[in-house]
Structure 1
């Protein structure tokens, strides 16, 4: 497993990570780093051959060459939030009343000071050009490969992505799909809405970075740290935040900073931390 760089402070909560950033534990003073650009990206999709579709909305903040992002429920982000984010410091946004703004600002800062490069523990994984479904399946293979090859029977999947479930099915793994939206999977399986109630029934966890933005990440981290269960994060939200928790409960991260695979059909790259090599 790839651990964070030795000079990085050990963190076990999001609040601890924010405190270390404020204290200069990652270099530049966040009070001196100002966000120049804030934007949202909204997406609706229904792949050919699939019975259902979905929508995404993501808040992104630009800091120098880096972009930090946090997914939100479609329509939940007030328009004024964009105005709140521009021309102010990262430190100020870490105090914003909306958790997604805090996460996006933290992600922008860490993407700037800890970019996804091999010297920071990242391993690039090429996502081929092609249609959205083709690229979604390629990403799903990269994510599921981060689970241990043996010793896993049932996986708790938090944030239902049908391509990920398809990969688990192809590998003969059972899964429990969870998402706050509920509903059903592509195969008609009911989607549970209380992930914490399912933790004891599964021996690995595959979770969306969106758990950072809705406040449900910490119980997953605590459970994995206590039990030793693999916790693999697939992260468009907080792609530079979640690698900081490697060794503290997170076993692997598939980090996908903006621009995301669904934005165009050209070749791309995601960055993997930890997991099997």
Structure 2
């Protein structure tokens, strides 16, 4: 969704949005769309509104990192290393990774962390490890949580944040979905954020930007 100069995003499951819905919301009023029955629409509109009001680029709390030009794999690995640096755990610490991206698992391991991969779709990692489907199980025994922004769209974020708050665990988010929405949660629900507004790194072979946020509330 575009508001002004900003594009807001929210991942949706296949079949969740159809052509008729898209035609219905094009050109819609922001205030009305914030009450739309689709969570994906609400998140994308709010994301766009917040990013238009305060763009990530030049935001006083963000550090912009350029992901160098290259292949999709090269760019994914470069982004992963920047994101992994946000996850502060002791040497040998365990990180629950919710929303599996193989390059992120590799980057965390490069830093000496072990990983508990978790994704609603399950399956196996690139190294043949079983991907958990229950985030509670993944968080058990973890020293920190690294979650995809997709947890906002699929309705699991509140529960994940509650568990992290109860256990006093750092919660870091890497967000294409709702990157500006998560920025509002810094210092409260989340510890740090990698915000990646559209266009995403894999849409271009040229260099692209991510915006890193650390620390407490403004």
1:228 is displaced (CA, Å) by 2.2
Structure (1 or 2) with the larger CA radius of gyration = 1
Unaligned ranges ≥5, structure 1: 1-60
Shift in alpha-carbon separation, 1:152–1:240, aligned structure 2, 3 A: farther
Alignment partner for residue 34 of structure 2, among 79, 94, 109? 94
Alignment of 1:154-233 (within 5 A): 154-233=94-173
Distance 1:106 1:120, change over 3 A: farther
> What's the secondary structure of 2:10's corresponding residue?
strand
Give distance in 2, aligned partners of 1:68 and 1:165.
Answer: 26
| Runs (5+) with no aligned partner, structure 2 | none
Q: Give, in angstroms, the shift of residue 84 of structure 1.
A: 2.4
Equivalent of 1:148 in 77, 88, 93: 88
Equivalent pairs counted in the alignment come to 215
Moved more, 163-172 or 104-113: 163-172
| 8 Å CA contact 1:152, 1:204 repeated in 2 | no
Distance 2:64 2:79 in 1: 12
Structure 1 position 257, deviation (Å) = 0.2
| TM-score relative to the length of structure 1 | 0.74
Q: TM-score, normalised by structure 2?
A: 0.94
Following the alignment from structure 2 to structure 1, what is the Cα–Cα distance between the partners of residues 14 and 113? Answer: 31
Matches of 2:147 and 2:92 in 1, distance apart?
A: 15
